[in-house]
Structure 1
């Protein structure tokens, strides 16, 4: 034992060295525990993904979507070797069977979905077939309109925000309060399973309101694009921006194109400029559908057909 002397008293220096070593190790252990706790409590994310149905037939598509916060990359594996790196989409199986769908987000978050693919769809009488008509895209705080087609007595709509039945009846008017992709469910007394309608809801003035429709895309996309810009005009947003987008994009600069309008007062006919100007002063107008008639052998439209309805209260105009 090595002794030093302090004021004539011996001091055990080995004991002091061990004491400092124990204190240092304790600090390191405590720091490690704190780091692990912070990593598990604050850095952990949870996948927010879903598939439309877990049981489909060979003539149906598997519809999938993901809304994981701050996600950057996606890998959907369909259990048969096929893959997709899209955030949302649909997939068609070529063979019946049971599959495990696996989603990997940002390379480390995973979730699995079991799916059963059947050979065929059981036959159903024509009078029990229920379908949904309406837009597939909309804007936050703007009313959307969906209509059920088919013979039924009970219609119950669930729009996906509240987790409950939101509206009853064949026609549903609903206002979304948050952006996202929603699977709207319609249950009736005539169908064994609910009918679903996929809708993308975006914030005002987001890329949805200004997106360009590429040539060759579906008619549904064109309808939604025109409806969105007309709705923006009706809501008091930048008239020139949305109006001249439509004039150039679909009518080859012709502002006198015929507009066939159906609203609460019936049917009427006017021209494009007069109709859009009237939208800016009407207030409380919701555009339900907007379709164009193409000129033969041309990319220009010769007529615009619009269905709209007036709400009970006019929204405040924003300029």
Structure 2
């Protein structure tokens, strides 16, 4: 073997050894692949607003101990810290927040920051919360929710005229059929519509079956929501298992169109609510207990009324 060939073999061997050492010394991407971060708004209204104090939390604080964390806020600002990550945007817009760990792993999320005017516009759109199916002679409750409303004109489609003038009303249909509820407010140019099916009056035996089935369904949903609240942030499979169960068994519309009313005052869509339940554990400040659940329709849920309380961990 000539000298030139020996030198080539030695050089290749050195390069191979160096490559192996580099691979062994560099942090593995899989080491950080479970790391995620979540964004909490200070006023807990599910909107990110200009000048609002936003808190950024990493789901696994143990995994990032001693690691280099770089937050890129999507507007040119960067933060280098692992704890007490608080930030407020000065201008509305859509921003890409990126968390970089040890220059080896990064995860990004888009966030939309709205101005006060945009927030008012979002909240000013009225919504009707109530059942989509009921029975002849049954007292049905409907509520209007929206920013800036001070007048409400309800038409339930049976009398041909305005039937009620309050934000929350109770109405009883005398005749079975398909109806469209109309709500006109001072914030809308055209009425908001809500379809409802009224079934014939049922006998007492049938009533007992319906009530028992509804109670079972509500308790079933409550148990699965509690499982989501109890799951650790890292247990993504548990989160998806229970959210998919509720969605596949009880929904006939997209999950983001199912309204969740929390303690009678906070409104959110099902997906956003379940994410909040699941990620709440990550801040270690409070735990959620699901006390009661009420649904509007056992076959096709569109509204879930949740009563919940908080417990210290």
| TM-score, length basis structure 1 | 0.35
Which structure has more relative contact order (CA 8 Å, sep 6+)? It is 2
| TM-score, length basis structure 2 | 0.36
Q: Computing the radius of gyration over CA atoms, which structure comes out larger, 1 or 2?
A: 1
Please identify which structure carries the higher helix content: 2
